[in-house]
Amino acid sequence: MRPLEAVDGVPREPIWRLQQLAGNAAVSSLIGGFVQRQAGAAAVSGAPMPRPAAGPLGDGQVADAVRYYTVQPWRYTAEIVTQLRTALGLDAAGGVDAALVQAVATWQQTEGANDPALTVDGKAGPRTLPRIFRHGLNEPGAGEAFGRSVQSGAIDEWATLATPEARLRRLVELVNVSLGAHGVPAVTEGFDPNPTNDGSFDFPTWRMLVGRTPLAAEQLDAATAREIAQTIYHEARHTEQWYRMAQLRAGQGLSAAGIAAELGIPARIARQARAEPLTPGSMQGLIAQGWWDSVYGAGAEQRNATLEEIDHAAAAVRQARRRFAAHPTSANQAVLDQARARFDRAYAAYRNLPEENDAWATEPAAGAGVTSGTPPAPVEQSGPDTAPGEGGPATLGPDTRLAVEPAVGAGGEAGSEASEGPGDGALLAALVAAGAETDQVAGPPPAAGRPSHEILPEVGES
């Protein structure tokens, strides 16, 4: 999660204007003319006609995806395209063609179907690339190893650790081992002051903030234990993302002071990143560029709007619930249904932000390493003053959510009133449409991006 759980343009002119003005039809015509010339040459020479590449996309979708790569040659360099083709089992030297696009789409359809599912569009952009080229905390086996360490080092020791503070310290100690193994600076720990947040990564202080409620339970079942591990790993992935963005900017020539100011991170973290830059033009550099674009670059405005809409939509649900509780009429039920639908749309847009899409896709591996809840508490004999079943430990069950409501930010504490905000029609349509990979061309960054935190969908549920 991020400071609002979750965590956050306008592309630069020449390419953006070309994309808008040329459009898919112009590109389709261009490709169509090229194919026709090839076909004519083949007919004259007697050579066999080339067969179209097989895959889930139609001709128009293929043309659109080809354009996605070719209008960004500074990103999709020959080296990047070669790595992508090799990873997908294609001839390395084929360049950007229909075969590449269809191979990406097929991978998205099969390997990218886990939650959040990737849009099948053939575009290996900021959501798809981190899943194809797994690195750091989403390397195969890394999440499961962390989950196993949580099981043995925290869940099995829950009663011994005894207090929420001790449990939090242990969990963060364990995740710092994972972060350190992948070259990411350690975080410090704290409780999230906002009770609606499950957890958050506060990058200005480089702290991982976790909700107190689940850590205060005397016992946990397996499902809740897994959710705790996943929350910690989700925030750790955000920590890694922010450090990679700092390394990216170091590789692009920014000074340590410039990195600290631009990203809003501690100077010591910026200095370490400056000493360990990502190589410009590398695959990991391109992946980090996608996150930077979303938080600080061309996507920052949309990201901020998405996070603000989460706040407004959650406030609208709370207000509608109170109104329906006081007057359970069909009209108030309809208002509540509309508010829930609005929240669902906002929540989907939030999870589709590149950095959130990546963190949500990374966290389940940690849960896979957790195999059971806390050991059962000793059975106490009922005394003359204690009725059977009384005085036992409270348990967070599988239906218990780690956050009461996902609205965070201006309202402050749970139940506080945030503005319902503007209507969500056109804005949310644009936000949810971002399910497809988008051309994210970096623009001038703001002073700092909005932090990232995990939001759970309780408000939008019945």
Confidence grade of residue 220 (pLDDT, cut at 50, 70, 90) = very high
For residues 135 and 266, give the distance between their C-alpha atoms in angstroms, rounded to a whole number: 24
**In this model, does residue 402 exceed pLDDT 50?**
no
Provide the pLDDT for residue 54.
Answer: 87
- Which pLDDT does position 377 carry in this prediction? 73
Average pLDDT over residues 51-63: 88
**In the predicted model, is pLDDT for residue 5 greater than 50?**
no
Mean pLDDT of 133-160: 98
235 by Cβ neighbours in 10 Å (0-12 / 13-18 / 19+) ranks as: buried
Q: Report the predicted TM-score, pTM, of the whole model to 2 decimal places.
A: 0.77
Sorting pLDDT into bands at 50, 70 and 90, what band is 451? low
The pLDDT value recorded for residue 421 is: 52
Arithmetic mean of pLDDT over the chain = 80
Per-residue pLDDT band for 379 (boundaries 50, 70, 90) equals low
441 pLDDT exceeds 90?
no
For residue 29 the two structure tokens come to 């015509």
pLDDT at 440 over 70: no
The tens digit of pLDDT for each residue in 410-421 reads 333 333 334 445
Q: Scanning the structure block, which residue is given the tokens 């929420």?
A: 164
Q: 78-98 in b/e burial notation, b at 16+ Cβ within 10 A?
A: eebbbbbbebbebeeeeebbb
So what's the pLDDT on residue 197?
Answer: 74
What does the pLDDT average to over 134-156? 98
Read off the pLDDT of each residue in 290-319 and give the average, rounded to a whole number: 96
Task: Give residue 431's pLDDT band: very low, low, confident or very high (50, 70, 90).
Answer: very low
Q: Give Cβ neighbours of residue 460 (< 8 Å, ≥ 6 apart).
A: 313, 317, 340, 343, 344, 347
Averaged pLDDT, 200-215 = 96
Q: Write down the pLDDT at residue 210.
A: 96
Task: Tell me the pLDDT tens digit for each residue of 75-118.
Answer: 999 999 999 999 999 999 999 999 999 999 999 999 999 999 99
Q: How far apart are CA 68 and CA 100, in angstroms?
A: 12
- Contact between 251 and 278 under an 8 Å Cβ cutoff? The reply is yes
Chain-centroid distance, C-alpha 462: 25
